[in-house]
Amino acid sequence: MLIHCFIAEIHPDDGEPCFLPSYHSEEGEAVKLDLTELINLKEIIINHFSIGGRELTSLNLSGCDNLKKLFFNAKLTTLSLFGCSNLEKIMIGKNNFTSIDFLKQLSNPDKLKILHIYDNNIQPTTLNFLRPFVNLEDCKLGGNSEKNNEKLEQRLQNKTYNKFYGSLEPIKNLTKLE
């Protein structure tokens, strides 16, 4: 089944919002969005996305070589960034990522200046994944932006938070961090 939806915050090269296809295979299944055909896409800003009560969990941006900024605050668990060689800003806090593997898909990690991955559920990993991002100026990995004490308590009880551990040595060469 194919659903067409209007996403006002996505700006292709001409600056106009557009209709984008999203799809799901079964009733009640989460929504997946494939934007690989929008090769002139420069910026994506999406805040809380759902279709018919189904959350967007998968986003494919492979081949969006002109993409410079990605801001996504929803329920994403899967992100494909193959061919996104010009990304400067990745702001994807408040999602449901359990891994940072999508960052390994970036062909030019030295272009990344901003990385926000706080308020996810990233499973135990060291900070070694940050080594290639030598031009990072702003990096938010942890913390908790949840203002509602009940929701915060629930997240802590369920252990749904980022789990980074180990030495800070991997970030010693990230001299542009503020």
List pLDDT tens digits, range 112-166: 999 999 999 999 999 999 999 999 999 999 866 666 678 778 877 888 889 999 9
Looking at the DSSP assignment, which residues form a beta bridge with residue 67? none
Looking at the DSSP assignment, which residues form a beta bridge with residue 69? 43, 89
Cα–Cα dist 168/178, whole Å: 15
Q: pLDDT tens, 65-112?
A: 999 999 998 889 999 999 999 999 999 998 999 999 999 999 999 999
Q: Are 173 and 133 in contact (CB under 8 A)?
A: no
pLDDT at 47 over 70: yes
The predicted structure's pLDDT at residue 31: 80
The predicted structure's pLDDT at residue 4: 36
Q: Which helix (H) or strand (E) holds 23?
A: strand 18-23
The predicted structure's pLDDT at residue 75: 87
| Tokens (6 digits) for 121 | 């559920």
pTM of the full predicted structure? 0.83
In this structure, which amino acid lies at residue 122? I
Structural domains of the chain ordered from first start: 2-171 (3.80.10)
Cα–Cα dist 114/2, whole Å: 34
The predicted structure's pLDDT at residue 144: 63
Q: Sorting pLDDT into bands at 50, 70 and 90, what band is 45?
A: confident
Q: What is the CA radius of gyration of the chain?
A: 17
The SS3 call for residue 115 is strand
